[in-house]
């Protein structure tokens, strides 16, 4: 997996500060030393590392941390924030021309993935944006290049404009733009030739294509595996011909991450897409904040905490914990808790934000049964107050009445009562442990980690 080394090191570092109730300048210094090393080892541009460390250090010893009730968490949030803004902050969308066709030019060194990305991008444009793209084969130097694009076009059923290898790339592009107008293509993607190194001839050719009609996007395609080189290439391309965005390919490989973390800061141009494989559906929009949390191994746990804090009444949570401990937890409380959880949004979305969720295969197929939750609520609402506080009075006729009232079955009522009993038994064991030995106060799993 990409970023593995960096992720491991950063996660180890932040783990140390996570639970701290007091964060001193010394703590921050020690942490930042490790962060600096981790970034350098991941091949992040030195200047970028310096800036990053400076920014985080300044914020981490500032009032926002000192005043916070959870300083450790706060420092981690700062690291995540700054990592996100280092990669551009917001996701940067494709810029479309209000007067079609939108022209997108693909540029980059040999083997970076221009032709492959041209196909993938056309696929995205058609599927997600409902566009009618035209692909242009403007690489006349490698005869197989035209064929490669034509093969992709056929595979995707997207037309490719080609004039062979005897017409100049500029002329091909010019005719392609005319053709696109006639055929009502609303996006034109021009696949250009790559070179081993940046040379003047290539740059001139690209400039001439660019001069035909100012493209709406000039995407520089770079191979993430080349680390610092990718950053240098991006800088040169940006200075000589001007780019509007970057596509970082081969992020499915085990890149150290340097390119992803430095390109934006060095060129001030956003990474718009990332290539995650050779197949035509392996192109994803680049989300800086998701990438940051992925690197920090936290899934999107910070937004999860924010969500919890926004939706859960802390007083209520304490009260519930108290009830758990004294075993006066009733079915009413149970419903209340279900509702608190529901307020936080779809459960499957929350699951995906959990740390390590990216490692769980098949999470996309998980469907949390919210209908089931609704049935549980209906059952409890159909009970009388006495039944809710003393479920032991439940007999066959009461169960039947409840099942009818809630539109469920006696079996379902039984199942719920059994679950509730099991839960109470578990609570009894837990409180027995804490009160009996009186040594360590045991907290509720889950709740505890949310509110630390
Ligand atoms: N694993 C992986 N391979 C990729 C990705 N993008 C491109 N490739 C592979 O990289 C190789 C080069 O891709 P091309 O699209 O031909 O690169 P190019 O920039 O057009 O190369 P030239 O036309 O020679 O300059 C091919 O084998 C692609 O399958 C990616 O995101 N992940
Ligand atoms: Mg190519």
Q: Which ligand is nearest to the CA of 274?
A: 1
- pLDDT at position 443: 41
CA of 223 to the centre of ligand 1 (A): 8
CA of 48 to the centre of ligand 1 (A): 28
Q: Which ligand is nearest to the CA of 113?
A: 1
What does the alpha-carbon distance between residue 108 and residue 192 come to, in Å, rounded to a whole number? Answer: 8
- pLDDT at position 436: 44
Pair 219, 237: CB distance under 8 Å: no
- pLDDT at position 152: 97
376-400 per-position pLDDT tens digit? 889 999 999 999 988 889 999 999 9
Which of 437, 418, 439, 427 has its CA nearest to residue 320? 427
| Residue 285 CB less than 6 A away from ligand 1 | no
What is the position in ligand 1's atom list of the atom closest to the CA of 221?
19
- Torsion sign over Cα 292, 236, 106, 219: positive
- pLDDT at position 313: 67
Bigger pLDDT: 339 vs 204: 204
3-state helix, strand, coil in the chain (%, to 5): 60, 10, 30
| Residue 250 CB less than 6 A away from ligand 1 | yes
Q: pLDDT band at 451, cuts 50/70/90?
A: very low
- pLDDT at position 440: 40
pLDDT score of 52 more than 80:
yes
Instruction: Work out the percent of the chain whose per-residue pLDDT is above 90.
Output: 53
210-242 per-position pLDDT tens digit? 999 999 999 999 999 998 889 999 999 999 999
The Cα diameter of the chain in Å comes to 91
| Residue 110 CB less than 6 A away from ligand 1 | yes
Q: Token pair 């989300």 is at which residue?
A: 287
145-200 per-position pLDDT tens digit? 999 999 999 999 999 999 999 999 999 999 999 999 999 999 999 999 998 888 88
- pLDDT at position 57: 93
- pLDDT at position 66: 74
* pTM greater than 0.75 (yes/no): no
Q: Worst-scoring range by mean pLDDT, 122-136, 252-266, 392-406, 436-450?
A: 436-450
What is the position in ligand 1's atom list of the atom closest to the CA of 277?
32
- What does pLDDT average to over the chain? 84
What is the position in ligand 1's atom list of the atom closest to the CA of 139?
23
| Residue 299 CB less than 6 A away from ligand 1 | no
Which of the listed residues 111, 146, 150 should we mutate to test ligand 1's pocket, taking the one with most ligand atoms within 8 A of CB?
111
- pLDDT at position 363: 54
CA of 114 to the centre of ligand 2 (A): 5
| Residue 116 CB less than 6 A away from ligand 1 | yes
Q: Which tokens go with 382?
A: 């159909």
404-435 per-position pLDDT tens digit? 999 999 999 999 998 888 877 777 776 655 44
- pLDDT at position 275: 94
Protein residue whose Cα sits closest to atom 21 of ligand 1: 111
Q: List b or e across 397-410, with b for residues whose CB sees 16 or more CB atoms inside 10 angstroms.
A: ebbebbbeebebee
| Residue 194 CB less than 6 A away from ligand 1 | yes
305-330 per-position pLDDT tens digit? 655 666 666 677 677 777 767 777 78
Which of the listed residues 120, 249, 254 should we mutate to test ligand 1's pocket, taking the one with most ligand atoms within 8 A of CB?
249
- Torsion sign over Cα 428, 431, 435, 436: positive
pLDDT score of 120 more than 90:
yes
Q: Token pair 């890149």 is at which residue?
A: 255
Q: Residue 367: left if φ>0, alpha if ψ -120 to 50, beta else—which one? A: beta
CA of 130 to the centre of ligand 2 (A): 25
CA of 401 to the centre of ligand 2 (A): 72
- pLDDT at position 352: 58
């Amino acid at each position: 997996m990409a970023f593995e080394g960096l992720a491991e090191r950063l996660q180890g570092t932040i783990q140390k500060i996570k639970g701290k109730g007091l964060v001193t300048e010394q703590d921050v210094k020690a942490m930042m030393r490790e962060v600096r090393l981790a970034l350098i080892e991941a091949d992040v541009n030195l200047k970028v590392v310096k800036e990053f460390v400076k920014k985080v250090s300044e914020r981490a010893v500032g009032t926002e941390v000192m005043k916070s009730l959870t300083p450790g968490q706060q420092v981690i949030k700062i690291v995540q924030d700054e990592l996100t803004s280092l990669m551009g902050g917001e996701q940067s969308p494709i810029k479309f021309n209000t007067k079609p066709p939108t022209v997108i030019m693909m540029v980059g060194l040999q083997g970076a993935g221009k032709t492959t990305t041209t196909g993938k991008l056309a696929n995205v444009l058609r599927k997600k944006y409902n566009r009618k793209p035209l692909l242009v084969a403007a690489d006349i130097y490698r005869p197989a290049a035209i064929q490669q694009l034509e093969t992709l076009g056929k595979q995707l059923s997207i037309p490719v404009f080609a004039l062979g290898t005897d017409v100049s790339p500029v002329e091909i592009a010019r005719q392609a733009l005319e053709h696109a107008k006639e055929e009502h293509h609303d996006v034109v993607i021009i696949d250009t030739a790559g070179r081993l190194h940046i040379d003047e001839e290539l740059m001139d050719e690209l400039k001439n294509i660019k001069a035909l009609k100012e493209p709406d996007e000039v995407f520089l395609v770079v191979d993430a595996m080349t680390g610092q080189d990718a950053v240098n290439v991006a800088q040169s391309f940006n200075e000589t011909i001007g780019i509007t965005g970057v596509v970082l390919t081969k992020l499915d490989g085990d890149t150290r991450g340097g390119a992803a973390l430095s390109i934006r800061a060095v060129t001030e141009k956003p990474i718009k897409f990332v290539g995650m494989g050779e197949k035509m559906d392996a192109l994803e929009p680049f989300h800086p904040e998701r990438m940051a949390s992925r690197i920090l191994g936290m899934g999107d746990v910070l937004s999860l905490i924010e969500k919890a804090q926004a939706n859960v009444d802390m007083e209520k949570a304490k009260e519930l914990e108290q009830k758990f401990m004294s075993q006066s937890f009733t079915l009413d409380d149970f419903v209340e808790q279900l509702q608190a959880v529901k307020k936080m949004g779809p459960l499957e979305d929350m699951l995906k934000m959990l740390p390590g969720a990216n490692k769980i295969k098949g999470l996309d197929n998980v469907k949390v049964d919210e209908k089931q939750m609704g049935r549980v609520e209906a059952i409890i609402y159909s009970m009388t107050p006495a039944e809710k506080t003393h479920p032991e009075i439940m007999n066959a006729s009461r169960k039947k009445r409840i099942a009818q009232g809630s539109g469920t079955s006696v079996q379902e009522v039984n199942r719920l009562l059994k679950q509730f009993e099991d839960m109470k038994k578990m609570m009894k064991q837990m409180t027995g442990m804490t009160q009996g030995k009186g040594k360590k106060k045991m907290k509720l799993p889950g709740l505890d980690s949310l509110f630390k």
